[in-house]
Amino acid sequence: WHDAGTYNKNIEEWPQRGGANGSLRFEAELKHGANAGLVNALKLLQPIKDKYSGVTYADLFQLAGATAVEEAGGPKIPMKYGRVDTSGPEQCPEEGRLPDAGPPSPADHLREVFYRMGLDDKEIVALSGAHTLGRSRPDRSGWGKPETKYTKDGPGAPGGQSWTAQWLKFDNSYFKDIKEKRDEDLLVLPTDAALFEDPSFKVYAEK
């Protein structure tokens, strides 16, 4: 998602407007703070790219995300292909287009970032629900615990702190767990909590 999340609807020129254009493959963008650790995902995808050279990085990144959602029990996401890759690191977007986890005003920050992409409050809440999958690692993002009872044994590389107990299952437990805030082993970022603190976001988060 971080490749697509740089999109700015207010910029007409490509690739300056960002979006799913494969620029995340370059070190210049991988070094952005919000992308810490994603070099490991790129290493996993590179053999596929090498085998199917006709597929662009932009398409491959989006396919990987859609496949992960489906494999975790989520919906099958219809794919469209034909995205064009940027040609070099000089075409990477500037740092700061992706959301921060702990800004001074979380709700305002979420709107600033996602309105720029053309999303509304309902879509912001829905997209935030993707945190039902995965973990946060403090050595990468600066957030979360080194390990919890849910992550200490893996699968995969153990460690980190997840938002949900079953962090490889695509469901709506993210919203339930944030609202209840009963388990200290589950992560709640300021931008997560904002979904139930902001009146407009809360309407959709509680549905």
pTM tops 0.95, yes or no: no
121 plus 66 within the same structural domain: no
Q: Label residue 156 by pLDDT band (50, 70, 90).
A: confident
Q: Is residue 53 part of a domain?
A: yes
Give the residue among 66, 174, 163, 168 at the shortest CA–CA distance from 125: 174
pLDDT at 114 > cutoff 90 = yes
Boundary of a domain, candidates 33, 64, 91: 91
Q: Label residue 38 by pLDDT band (50, 70, 90).
A: very high
Range of the domain at 48: 4-91
More confident residue, 181 or 82: 82
Q: Is residue 98 part of a domain?
A: no
86 plus 123 within the same structural domain: no
Q: What's the confidence (pLDDT) of residue 140?
A: 86
Q: Label residue 101 by pLDDT band (50, 70, 90).
A: confident
Q: What's the confidence (pLDDT) of residue 112?
A: 97
Percentage of residues in the chain having pLDDT higher than 70: 100
82 plus 114 within the same structural domain: no
175: which 2 tokens?
Answer: 């919203």
110 plus 191 within the same structural domain: yes
Mean pLDDT of the residues in the chain: 95
Query: Is-catalytic flag, 2?
Result: yes
Give mean pLDDT, residues 4-22: 98
How many folded domains does the chain comprise? Answer: 2
167 plus 142 within the same structural domain: yes
Boundary of a domain, candidates 45, 64, 91: 91
Q: Is residue 188 part of a domain?
A: yes
CATH number, position 124: 1.10.420.10
Q: Is residue 97 part of a domain?
A: no
Q: What's the confidence (pLDDT) of residue 154?
A: 73
* SS3 labels along 109-176: HHHHHHHHHCCCHHHHHHHHHHHHCCEECCCCCCCCCCCCCCCCCCCCCCCCEECCCCCCCCCCHHHH
CATH number, position 58: 1.10.520.10
50 plus 139 within the same structural domain: no
78 plus 112 within the same structural domain: no
Instruction: Please calculate the CA angle 140-146-148 and round it to the nearest 5 degrees.
Output: 135
Boundary of a domain, candidates 67, 91, 115: 91
11: which 2 tokens?
Answer: 């910029």
3: which 2 tokens?
Answer: 């490749």
Among the options 2, 32, 109, 131, which is catalytic? 2
